[in-house]
Amino acid sequence: MSHHIVDIHTALPPQLVQSLTNPTTPIRTTAETFLSLEAVVGYEFPRGCQLKNTLDQIGGQQQYQQHQYAALTIDQGLGVIGSGKRTDGLPAGSAGGYMEYKVEYSEGQYTLKINEDELCALLLNAEFVFVKMYSEYGIRRNPFLIRWIELYQQLLDDYLDGDDGGDDGSSQYGRENSMKNDGEVRLVKVRAAFIGAVLNEVEQISNYAPREYAMDSTYHPVDISKFDDALLLQGVYESRSEIPWNQDRDSDIVSLAPSAQSGIWGAEPYNSEMQLPSKQTIAQKDVWQTAHTPTPPPGLSTRRSYFSPPPLQGKEPQPQQQQSQQSHTPAQLQRPVNYNGLTMQQQQQQQDRRESDFINKLITILLQAQVDVLPDANTNQLIKHFTEFPQHLLAVLDPSEPNLSALILVNPKLTQGLVKIYLLATGRSTERNELLNALERLPVELEVLELLNAICRGGVSSTNGGQVLLAKQEVERLLHGYLSRAMLKIESLGSPASNRTPGPNSLMADIGYFSGANGGLNGMSTPGSRGGATPGQGGLAGLQVKAKQTRMVQLLCLFIVSLLNAGIMHEKEYHYEIEELRVRYIWVKEARELWHRVNTPKSGYSAQ
């Protein structure tokens, strides 16, 4: 049994992870089923980011690279993976073997417990999900290409480095004896074979179930240099001289490969004029093109707080050390080298990629926050980080109405904090106007009204760090725009119910009104209703419309009363909006009381 502790805010939710752990279903079928799930359709990009993070945490690159997660320990074996034999004397597939990751973490993690077969299935199925997501573009335009290449090299390093087979009879791979056990070796071999098949576009691998593939996997050598043009086109590297395997690559890793086969990858002859896929927004695509950090130099710690700004990797050499290096190799006068052997240009490129990777993680968190509730501790941590680094928020937050609506209904506290920071960071700019336009179009929900109440009060009655949140003119624009659109939303639900004050038989009267039982009343719009309303809704549907309209009107009235009491709104400036609420929705008690307050200010009305 495997025990994996996973960061819940950057990894795939456990229910979706489990959908990829079936070892007996063909890989293609599992991937297609996963991409058709309701929780995935429409969220392919964030789910892909989460799946990548999951692999990195439970069975991916942190085994081979330095990572904020700590050491890996493996005991016993991996059951039927690879040869189907165990080293602990138990039959293949029996209980007893386990792989456990001991992970350093703070809050917001979940523990994933899967057996060895399921672990292998997850690792293989997940890689093929990445293939299917971009199958129509071909592998050379797949944004996961650089990930496969780097992972393939790391996997090969784990069993190709060392002797060429030795004569001790243990294995044909050099480092197997130095690895912890045969189970780890088999898993590395299976993954290397599968990634090699993906890079060589071997279509047949998708017809296997993960268990079948693990029992009979074939190593596919890959000429990774054939992807140079693709990586340049994607923007992963700016020139061929930056590509690592074009500098000091080990000849054991770059080997000749069979010709690419056409099929599910949509493989085709490479054309430098090809356009990159447009499944993501430009910002998301740019993040993916630069979000893959190369392996850090040995001995350099990369552990840091998840939300802290990414640190510089390495440091510049001391002047004496640099002078000594330059005296031995005059050519280095044009290429300063730090103590890790990196040029300053390479160091800056790694820093830029680290920054991009961090921004990518923030984007993933905010996308997930649209569908999953974040714990208060992580909400506070995000708000604190964006307060200190508002430029990160400007880079990752999409201030559009659909995104804000989804975010505020799931995580209202986070949304309120982000909107305040965004307003303070933008000043009078296009981004600020875009946000205000989106706020005017938000739905009539309690969470939205609490947000508007908070930012309107912050804009007039207080300051934030010496800055005004909203100017008075912006508050008036926001409130007039929101109230106008809110009443249009209420009307769009259908014909309002009867304008008559509810009486003893109001329920039956309303049913008759909507169903057509009372002749001349049914099917008619109430006085003052505008176009777009649906007249004559019958029976239960009509009652449901009336109930929803009533709730929305009540929320608007309480919102207006709150701002009137705070001195943010003034009766004369919003007289027409209040009058319209009373005329159209007179059956709502709060609408009548609000109108009464505005027209008789000294009546002793008090907000409840």
Helix (H, G, I), strand (E, B) or coil at 416: helix
In angstroms, what CA-CA distances link 245 with 349, 368, 449, 530, 572?
Answer: 16, 36, 56, 68, 72
- Would you say 224 and 191 are in contact if contact means Cβ atoms under 8 Å apart? no
Q: What single string gives the DSSP state of each residue in 359-412? A: HHHHHHHHHHTTTSPPPHHHHHHHHHHHHH-HHHHHHH---SHHHHHHHHHH-H
3-state secondary structure of 358: helix
Separation between Cα atoms, residue 219 and residue 173, nearest integer Å: 12
The rounded mean pLDDT for the chain is 66
pLDDT at residue 156 tops 80 = no
The predicted pLDDT at position 450 comes to 93
Tell me how far CA of residue 318 lies from CA of 314, 325, 333, 336, 337, in angstroms. 12, 11, 15, 11, 11
Tell me how far apart the alpha carbons of residues 225 and 251 are, in angstroms, rounded to a whole number.
Answer: 12
pLDDT in tens, 552-608: 999 999 999 999 888 888 888 888 888 888 888 888 888 888 888 887 755 444 444
In the beta sheet, which residues pair with residue 74? Answer: 99
Instruction: Give the amino acid at 457.
Output: R
Q: What is the pLDDT of residues 291-310, one digit of tens each?
A: 333 333 333 223 233 333 33
Taking the C-alpha atoms of residue 513 and residue 519, their distance in angstroms, rounded to an integer, is 9
Please, are residues 535 and 524 in contact by the beta-carbon 8 Å criterion? yes
d(CA 360, CA 326): 38
Sign of CA dihedral 334, 337, 342, 347: negative
Q: Are 28 and 34 in contact (CB under 8 A)?
A: no
User: Between 56 and 515, whose confidence is greater?
Assistant: 56
Taking the mean position of all CA atoms in its chain, how far away is CA 150? 22
Residue 169 CB contacts under 8 Å (≥ 6 apart), including other chains: none
Contacts of 203 (CB under 8 A, 6+ apart): 261, 263, 264, 265
Q: Pick the more confident residue, 603 or 48.
A: 48
Collapse the DSSP code of 419 into the 3-class scheme (helix H, G, I; strand E, B; otherwise coil) and give the result.
Answer: helix
Structure tokens at 195: 């990634």
Whole-number Å distance between alpha carbons of 435 and 419: 8
Residues 437, 449: Cα–Cα separation, whole Å: 15
Sheet with 109-114, strands from edge to edge, namely 72-75, 98-101, 2-7, 109-114
Residue 414: which pLDDT band, with cuts at 50, 70 and 90? Answer: very high
Spatial CA neighbour of 584 closest among 448, 478, 506, 493: 493
What is the model's pLDDT at position 409? 92
Q: How many residues does the chain have?
A: 608
Per DSSP, 173 falls in state S
Q: Distance from CA of residue 546 to its chain's centroid?
A: 38
**pLDDT tens profile 101-131:** 333 334 455 566 667 788 888 889 999 999 9
At 459 the pLDDT is: 54
Spatial distance between the Cα atoms of 422 and 236, rounded to a whole number of angstroms: 30
What span, in angstroms and rounded, lies between the C-alpha atoms of 359 and 393? Answer: 9
Residue 276 amino acid letter? L
Percent of the chain with pLDDT over 70: 57
pLDDT (tens digit per residue) in 453-474? 999 887 543 445 556 788 888 8
Task: Please give the C-alpha separations between residue 504 and each of 500, 543, 549, in angstroms, as whole numbers.
Answer: 12, 17, 21
Residue 524 C-alpha from the chain's centroid: 48
pLDDT tens column, 309-329: 333 334 344 444 444 433 333
Q: What are the phi and psi torsion angles at 526 (to 5°)?
A: -70, 160
Q: Strands 109-114 and 72-75, how do they pair?
A: unpaired
Q: What is the pLDDT of residues 19-44, one digit of tens each?
A: 898 899 999 999 999 999 988 887 78
Whether 84 has a pLDDT exceeding 50, the answer reads no
Whether 412 has a pLDDT exceeding 80, the answer reads yes
Residue 443 reports pLDDT greater than 90 = yes
The larger pLDDT score, comparing residue 211 to residue 266, is at 211
* Of residues 115, 308, 139, the one with CA closest to residue 211: 115
> Would you state the torsion angle of the CA atoms of residues 239, 241, 243, 247, taken in this order, to the nearest 10 degrees?
170
How do residues 220-246 score in pLDDT, each as one tens digit? 778 888 888 888 877 777 777 777 766
Query: How far from each other are the two terminal CA atoms of the chain, in whole angstroms?
Result: 57
> 161 is written with which tokens?
């480095």
Annotate 428-495 with three-state secondary structure.
Answer: CCHHHHHHHHHHHCCCCCHHHHHHHHHHHHHHHCCCECCECCCCHHHHHHHHHHHHHHHHHHHHHCCC
Give 76 or 168, the one with higher predicted confidence: 168
The backbone torsions φ and ψ at residue 464, rounded to the nearest 5 degrees and listed phi first, read -125, 105
The token pair at 334 is 């044009």
Measured from the Cβ of residue 334, the count of other Cβ atoms closer than 10 Å reads 8
Type and span of the H or E element at 160: helix 145-160
Cross-strand pairs, 7:
109
